[in-house]
Amino acid sequence: MDRYAHYLVDAVHAAVDAGKAILKVYETDFGVETKADNSPLTIADQKSHKIIKERLNVHGIPAISEEGRDILYEERRNWDTIWIVDPLDGTKEFIKRNGEFTVNIALVENQKPIMGVVYAPAAQWLYFGSAQIGAYKLVGVQNIDFQSYTKSNPEDTLKALMDIAEKLPFAKSPNQIYTIVGSRSHGTAELNAFVDQKKKEKGDVKFIQAGSSLKICLVAEGTADIYPRLGPTMEWDTAAGQGVTESAGASIRIYESDQPLTYNKPDLLNPWFVVQRDNPKGFL
Burial 53-85 (b: 16+ CB within 10 A, else e): bebbeeeeeebbbbbeeeeeeeeeeebeebbbb
Q: How confident is the model at residue 280 (pLDDT cuts 50, 70, 90)?
A: very low
Global confidence as pTM:
0.93
**In this predicted structure, what is the pLDDT of residue 282?**
46
Q: Do 188 and 157 fall within a single domain?
A: no
Closest by CA position to 144, among listed 120, 166, 118, 124: 124
Residue 29 is part of a domain; what is its CATH number? 3.30.540.10
Q: How confident is the model at residue 1 (pLDDT cuts 50, 70, 90)?
A: low
Mean pLDDT of the chain: 90
In a domain, 266, yes or no: yes
Q: Do 163 and 206 fall within a single domain?
A: no
Residue 197 is part of a domain; what is its CATH number? 3.40.190.80
More confident position, 65 or 186? 65
CA angle 166, 168, 13 (to 5 degrees): 60
3 state SS for 82-109: EEEEEEEECHHHHHHCCCCCEEEEEEEE
In a domain, 130, yes or no: yes
In a domain, 39, yes or no: yes
Q: How confident is the model at residue 279 (pLDDT cuts 50, 70, 90)?
A: low
266: cis peptide before it, omega within 30°? no
How many CA atoms lie less than 13 Å away from 199 in the CB half-sphere? 8
Lowest mean pLDDT among 56-70, 124-138, 269-283: 269-283
Q: How confident is the model at residue 243 (pLDDT cuts 50, 70, 90)?
A: very high
> Does residue 281 carry a pLDDT above 50?
no
Average pLDDT over residues 128-155: 84
Three-state secondary structure call for residue 141:
helix
- Residue 79 sits in which domain range? 5-168
Domain count, the chain: 2
Q: Do 111 and 210 fall within a single domain?
A: no
Q: Do 141 and 256 fall within a single domain?
A: no
Q: What is the pLDDT of residues 19-60, one digit of tens each?
A: 999 999 999 888 888 777 767 788 999 999 999 999 999 999
Q: Do 197 and 233 fall within a single domain?
A: yes
Nearest-angstrom CA–CA distance, 87 and 105? 8
Average pLDDT over residues 218-242: 95
Q: Do 198 and 218 fall within a single domain?
A: yes
In a domain, 271, yes or no: yes
Three-state secondary structure call for residue 134:
strand
